[in-house]
Amino acid sequence: MAVEKVGIYRKWLEPVPRRNGKPIPRSEWPKKRRHRWIVRWYSTNNKKYGKVFRTRKEAETYALELQAQVNLGRADKPKKMTIHRFIDEHKEVMKGQVAYATLKDQVRALGFFKNFIGESFLLSKIKPRHAEAFVAYRLSTVPSVATVNKDIRTLKRVFNLAIELRGYMAEGQNPFTKIKERKKTENTIRYVTVEEYHKLMEAANSLWWRALFSLGYGSGLRRSEILHLTWADVDFENQRVAINAKKSSESVLEWEPKNRKKRVVPMSDESSNLLVDIQAQAQEGHPYVFISPARLERIKERRTIGKWNPRSELVNNLMRDFNVIRRRANVAECTIHDFRRSAITNWAKRLPIQVMQALAGHSNIATTKKYYLAVRSEDFATASELLNCILAKTKGN
């Protein structure tokens, strides 16, 4: 920001005219000497800046706008920063500030944009036309519109950081601000029926899998939330499960829940009984419910030699084994995450939407609405019965 008040001055364009060999008086300069108006200010490092205008009115208008920016601490000219160096810096300064997956997505989107625009391109030179051209290029090369929309959201957020915190772009210069996400057809939510859930529970060949299914379908937990569950998170007395961040220690792996939100969810009698059975068989002092002691030791070994990635699978071959159970149960294709979606859809029958949002851990209620408004198979049956009833009454009349 400027450290002194913004000033407006005349900028003389030619030497002082002379009369009878002598310079004319200073009071006559504005009438006899060509000039412009200049706005001057100083940056935080005492570097002098100026901008020239033809009229005083133009200069005053600019000075008022600039002073407003000074008051907000935004009047410095953008620092020179290439997109290549910005990506390297972003990876360092954001480490630990956002979730690992979020940072990975940001670096990925920035990498695509860098390859498109050129690694030596200055951030301050990026314009909306570059963003629009990049989106058009991505749409022509990426089959999924959802992926391109994710790039737009991600880059919009990252370039806001380049403006607000780091000063590499001027206020209002975010090239993605006015880029609209492309319309796409929403995917149908895969709802796992109660009948399908019971089939999967019967086909599950271990207590471990039945407990995982129960927490996903009954408590609406994400897969990572289930796998990172420790016995300290389970409240058997009140039949609740707490989703808490984990700090790295000798026996616990560092982990942050999605959106960094701590929450508590209810647990069914079925889940509680299954967890009691697992605890009875668990090794004394082992903190995790679903990560075995042997697997935890393997993860700790890899972490010690620097080969453990927080995004690595906590349990090997999880989806492969799940699909074996699913096929054995003769259930149509679904994922473990579909259990969570189904749980939220079931809650919608009785719970207010704000309660659903809290239990699901959604940061945006628009996400919750998708499940609140989801149509189940029984809803189609109810609608058909209603339609038949209406038509029968019409025919009778």
Cβ atoms of 124 and 80 closer than 8 Å: yes
Instruction: Examine the domain organization and report whether 56 and 205 are in the same domain.
Output: no
Instruction: Examine the domain organization and report whether 92 and 61 are in the same domain.
Output: no
Chain segment 126-150, per-residue pLDDT in tens: 999 999 999 999 999 987 888 999 9
Q: Is residue 58 part of a domain?
A: yes
- Burial environment of residue 154 by CB neighbours within 10 A (0 to 12, 13 to 18, 19 or more): buried
Token pair 């010690």 is found at 304
Rounded Cα distance between 166 and 235, Å, is: 44
Instruction: Examine the domain organization and report whether 24 and 123 are in the same domain.
Output: no
pLDDT band with cut points at 50, 70 and 90 for residue 163: confident
Number of domains making up the chain? 3
Q: In this predicted structure, what is the pLDDT of residue 304?
A: 83
| Residue 390 C-alpha from the chain's centroid | 46
Instruction: Examine the domain organization and report whether 249 and 368 are in the same domain.
Output: yes
Rounded Cα distance between 81 and 123, Å, is: 6
Q: Is residue 184 part of a domain?
A: no
Q: Is residue 176 part of a domain?
A: no
Instruction: Examine the domain organization and report whether 57 and 159 are in the same domain.
Output: no
E strand map for the chain = 7-12, 18-19, 22-23, 35-42, 48-53, 234-235, 240-243, 263-266
Alpha-carbon torsion angle 305, 307, 308, 314, nearest 10? -110
Q: Is residue 389 part of a domain?
A: no
Q: Is residue 76 part of a domain?
A: no
Q: In this predicted structure, what is the pLDDT of residue 2?
A: 47
Instruction: Examine the domain organization and report whether 42 and 119 are in the same domain.
Output: no
Chain segment 205-238, per-residue pLDDT in tens: 899 999 999 999 999 999 999 999 999 999 999 9
| Confidence check: pLDDT of 269 > 60 | yes
CATH of the domain at 157: 1.10.150
Instruction: Examine the domain organization and report whether 89 and 51 are in the same domain.
Output: no
Instruction: Examine the domain organization and report whether 47 and 115 are in the same domain.
Output: no
Instruction: Examine the domain organization and report whether 364 and 223 are in the same domain.
Output: yes
| Confidence check: pLDDT of 376 > 50 | yes
Q: In this predicted structure, what is the pLDDT of residue 69?
A: 66
Instruction: Examine the domain organization and report whether 235 and 353 are in the same domain.
Output: yes
What is the extent of the structural domain holding 137? 83-164
Domain end point (choices 71, 92, 114): 71
Instruction: Examine the domain organization and report whether 109 and 149 are in the same domain.
Output: yes
Rounded Cα distance between 365 and 356, Å, is: 9
Q: In this predicted structure, what is the pLDDT of residue 94?
A: 87
Average pLDDT over residues 71-87: 74
Instruction: Examine the domain organization and report whether 228 and 296 are in the same domain.
Output: yes
pLDDT band with cut points at 50, 70 and 90 for residue 198: very high
Chain segment 344-368, per-residue pLDDT in tens: 888 888 888 888 888 888 888 888 8
